[in-house]
Amino acid sequence: MNWLDQHTLALIFAGLTAFSILLYAMLDGYDLGVGITLPMNNEAWRDTSIASIGPFWDANETWLVLAVGLLLVAFPAAHSAILKALYLPASFLLIGLILRGVAFDFRAKVKPEHKLRWDWVFKIGSIIASFSQGFMLGLYVVGLEYTYLNVVFALFSGFCVTAAYALIGNAWLILKTTDEIQLHAIKRCRQSGMLAFFGILAVSLINPIVNVNVLNVWTSPPFAYFFAIIPITCFAMFAIGYKVLKDLPLEDDQGAGLPFLMSCVIFFTSFVGLALSFYPYVVPNQLTIYQAASSAESLNIIFIGAVFVVPVIAAYTVFAYFTFRGKADELKYY
Amino acid sequence: MDALILSRIQFAANISFHILFPTITIALGWLLFYFKLRFNFSGHPVWMRAYRFWVKVFALSFAMGVVSGITMSFQFGTNWPGYMESVGNIAGPLLAYEILTAFFLEATMLGIMLFGSNRVPSWVHTLATFLVAFGTTMSAFWILALNSWMQTPDGFEMRDGIAHATDWFAVIFNPSFPYRLTHTLLSSGLTVCFLVAGISAYRLLYKDHKKAPRLTLKTAVITAAILAPLQAFVGDMHGLNTLEHQPAKVAAMEGLWHTVNGAPLVLFGIPDAETQTNKYALEIPGMASFILTHDFDGELKGINEFEGEHPPVAPVFFSFRVMVGIGLLMIFISWWSTATVLRKKSLSKLQLKILIGMTFSGWVATLAGWYVTEIGRQPFIVHGVVKTADAVTTIAGENVAFTLAMYISIYIVLLIAYISTIFRMAGKAVKEEEYDLTPPGLPESEKGDAQEVAA
């Protein structure tokens, strides 16, 4: 029955958990981002923005459940250590997600005069959720200790992640909208891209300074040369993206998908960069994935299921995105 | 107050709020699938109108369920770290399978079900509706397998204080699982029947002369008339199963302090833990023994047999009476309404008002039932294996108290918003013209109002 040993399983499940977190950040990232920059002075734009994420947001949030679930079942000691240390910001994250999730449905069903109220709830909920995630990430990076400096760093990280979500959210809107709202999204995308750029740059510089291990990963040859591809790709995306956003929109809506694609690359490289910095630790400098992994028997049984089910999930997710391809204003409820 | 009681209250508050919505979406998903099928086969637009009204309620309930469910995945580890440490090998795979086989399926298909009807062929839309219903039911399957395992653990062995599965079939199909699953699915069915009946009655009472609310009312009360007595029967079997595996819970449910032959059925009373008696008790002699052992003189074990390992009597005792009381009321009201409907008569104003009053009765019964079974399992978190107190967190009590206050205030606001929005949607449907629907190849008026619609 146990045809994979503990070591291999720990690595596989660390990979699966990381994959879920990354997908969550990209997918819920764009729908949170749409919420963060929801234009409060234009109801039609709000309707279109929200229609663009309508068919997807439920499934996007499920990646968070999977990520936290995998952490819980595969690395229970890490789940408890990380989320206990992040108990308060995690609670704010949950409150934010609750508020925006229900606002999404209430806004379409309440009296017209109350719609604006729920739009605000949607926007503020999205901001709270994004900021909390950034705060949690920041505190994680500096070792889950609430010192004065760490909290300042975590707050800064909160801003960065919010900006990064706004970036990918507006990139999504460029892909899914036309005309004025698209122009508006291009402008917003450029602004949030700037903020995200400086944020990622700052974290990349601060992280090796506070963590000796991280410095080693990025400076010890021969791997360091190879790893250099990651930050270079990431910052190249910002540079090229800046140019692309300047030129958009093009005729026949060419290149409307580029900003989103590039944002995904930015998310991917930033994430891989972080993951490399911390491997093999799951709780920074305290607990490795090999120490925290639960027993081989239960990981095996989940792994067998995952091998069969994950391709199916991937298939119907692709089907859903294919079904709702094209511009959002053509989307009709029901 | 210490972290144990605060953690319990917080988890109870979150899970109580959460369960309200899956209870609706599980059965409402199947009802929508039924509406869609009837529309596909008859082509009658009234089925599509019923579908479109109720799919909105479904969407709202689903969103409430998703967001409150995410909270749970965090709190398993934050509030009950000892739970995963000791039984993680069992709970982990069950939870993982729930996420993999149910959550993604329902969430993704929901998008197609809500927004896809103009983008995919009708059969794909019907299939998506089916898969959403199937997904909600699968998620009930896995989570109830885990919950039942916590009540009647089986198929495992303890090594160094940690549970290891020895037989996964026995873990999943543990002794109480078939009863609990059936009981829960039926309770979802009844909750939805009374929700649909109540909202449809509301529309009729406010002079909605359209066909859809009459049709949904009829569908709901007839289904309830079948499910409600079935639920009483299944509930009884579930009770016998509990007597076999968790006698202390049954003793608390019956308010039975001392082991006795020919135990009375306590219809009402106030259990007093100090004196170990029921004050102001109204009893039927020998009846509890008869129900549980099929013998008026049968022996029933009392709380005294389970020193230090029995649940608090009063909350279990009262919750049980609330659940059974609503169950009986449901049988009576559904039969009465069905009798009227089947004689081709419309319901009287009084009947409509009673149904409106019962709109959310399923919620109360469901919560009461869960309190019976969850409080009845105390002081254990996994019956006979792990005590709740040993699984609790080390998070500071103030932090738990602070977040608890936050959650509760948000839940109250959301609950009010949810209920008032559903009634508002019903009120809006009264004033609105029929939804504009022109299904492919079928003009509105052709197959329409002249034809009698059977439920």
**B114·A84 Cβ contact <8 A:** no
pLDDT at res. B439: 42
**Ramachandran area for residue A331 (φ above 0: left; ψ -120 to 50: alpha; else beta):** beta
Question: What are phi and psi for residue A86, nearest 5 degrees?
Answer: -100, 25
pLDDT in tens, chain B (455 residues): 577 888 888 888 999 999 999 999 999 999 999 999 999 888 888 888 889 889 989 999 998 998 888 888 788 877 888 888 888 888 888 988 998 898 889 988 998 888 888 888 889 999 999 999 999 999 999 999 999 999 999 988 888 888 888 888 999 999 999 999 999 999 999 999 999 999 999 998 888 878 888 889 999 999 999 999 999 999 988 988 888 888 888 888 888 888 888 888 888 888 887 788 888 878 888 888 888 888 888 888 888 888 888 888 889 989 999 999 999 999 999 999 999 988 877 888 899 999 999 999 999 999 999 999 999 898 888 888 888 888 887 777 788 888 889 999 999 999 999 999 999 888 888 887 655 454 433 333 333 333 333 33
Q: Which residues contact B98 (CB under 8 A, 6 or more apart)?
A: B138, B139, B142, B143, B146
Q: Which chain B residues have a beta carbon less than 8 Å from that of A101?
A: 63-64, 66-67
Q: Per-residue b/e over B205-239, b at no fewer than 16 CB within 10 Å?
A: beebebbbbbbbbbbbbbbbbebbeebeebbeebb
pLDDT at res. B134: 95
Percentages (nearest 5) of helix, strand, coil residues in chain A: 80, 0, 15
Residue bearing tokens 């750029």: A197
**Distance from CA of residue A143 to its chain's centroid?**
20
Q: In this structure, are strands A287-288 and B156-159 parallel, antiparallel, or unpaired?
A: unpaired
Q: In chain A, which among 17-46 make CB contacts under 8 A with chain B?
A: none
> Taking Cα atoms as reference points, which of A192, A138, A207, A153 lies closest to residue A29?
A192
Residue bearing tokens 């998070």: B395
Residue B33, both tokens:
């699938």
**In whole angstroms, what is the distance from residue B365 CA to residue B183 CA?**
12
pLDDT at res. B452: 36
Distances (CA, A) of A248 to A172, A181, A263, A330: 14, 13, 15, 22
Residue A159, both tokens:
């801003």
Do the Cβ atoms of B265 and B284 come closer than 8 Å?
yes
Q: Which chain A residues have a beta carbon less than 8 Å from that of B129?
A: none
Count of beta carbons in the 10 Å neighbourhood of residue B343: 7
| A324 in B contact zone (CB under 8 Å) | yes
Q: Which chain B residues have a beta carbon less than 8 Å from that of A55?
A: 111-112, 114-116
Outline where DSSP puts E strands in chain A: 281-283, 287-288
Do the Cβ atoms of B374 and B332 come closer than 8 Å?
no
Residue B281, both tokens:
């008790």
**B77·A99 Cβ contact <8 A:** no
DSSP B304: G
DSSP B230: H
Q: Which chain A residues have a beta carbon less than 8 Å from that of B101?
A: 305, 309
Q: Which chain B residues have a beta carbon less than 8 Å from that of A76?
A: 77, 81, 84-85, 88, 92
> Taking Cα atoms as reference points, which of B312, B304, B318 lies closest to residue B379?
B312
| A314 in B contact zone (CB under 8 Å) | no
SS3 assignment for A237-254? HHHHHHHHHHHCCCHHHC
**A88·B81 Cβ contact <8 A:** no
pLDDT at res. B451: 37
Q: Which chain A residues have a beta carbon less than 8 Å from that of B418?
A: 102
> Taking Cα atoms as reference points, which of A61, A197, A270, A301 lies closest to residue B167?
A301
Q: Which chain B residues have a beta carbon less than 8 Å from that of A99?
A: 410
pLDDT at res. B287: 83
Task: Write out pLDDT tens, residues A212-262.
Answer: 778 877 787 777 777 788 888 888 888 888 888 888 788 777 878 888 898
Q: Which of A66, A83, A97 sits opposite B78 (nearest CB)?
A: A83
Do the Cβ atoms of A231 and A271 come closer than 8 Å?
no
pLDDT at res. A69: 87
Do the Cβ atoms of B359 and B326 come closer than 8 Å?
no
| A155 in B contact zone (CB under 8 Å) | no
pLDDT at res. B391: 81
This model of the complex carries an ipTM of: 0.86
Distances (CA, A) of B342 to A216, B42, B451: 79, 21, 18
The parts of chain A modelled with pLDDT lower than 50 are: 1, 334
**B406·A95 Cβ contact <8 A:** yes
Q: In this structure, are strands B260-261 and B299-300 parallel, antiparallel, or unpaired?
A: antiparallel
**A76·B117 Cβ contact <8 A:** no
Do the Cβ atoms of B395 and B79 come closer than 8 Å?
yes
Q: Which of B77, B114, B119 sits opposite A72 (nearest CB)?
A: B77
Q: In chain A, which among 174-233 make CB contacts under 8 A with chain B?
A: none
pLDDT at res. B18: 93
| A294 in B contact zone (CB under 8 Å) | yes
**B112·A87 Cβ contact <8 A:** no
Task: Write out pLDDT tens, residues B113-142.
Answer: 888 888 888 899 999 999 999 999 999 999
**In whole angstroms, what is the distance from residue B420 CA to residue B435 CA?**
22
| A61 in B contact zone (CB under 8 Å) | yes
Nearest CA in chain A to B85: A76
Q: Which chain B residues have a beta carbon less than 8 Å from that of A107?
A: none
Per DSSP, the residues of B207-221 read T--SHHHHHHHHHHH
Residue bearing tokens 């029921």: B278
Q: Which residues contact B197 (CB under 8 A, 6 or more apart)?
A: B216, B217, B220, B221, B224, B337, B355, B358, B359
**B111·A110 Cβ contact <8 A:** no
CA dihedral B186, B187, B192, B195 (to 10 degrees): 150
Task: Write out pLDDT tens, residues A272-312.
Answer: 888 888 888 888 878 888 888 888 888 888 888 888 888 89
Outline where DSSP puts E strands in B102-181: 156-159, 162-165
Question: What are phi and psi for residue B277, nearest 5 degrees?
Answer: -140, 170
B306 CB-contact burial (10 Å; exposed 0-12 / middle 13-18 / buried 19+): middle
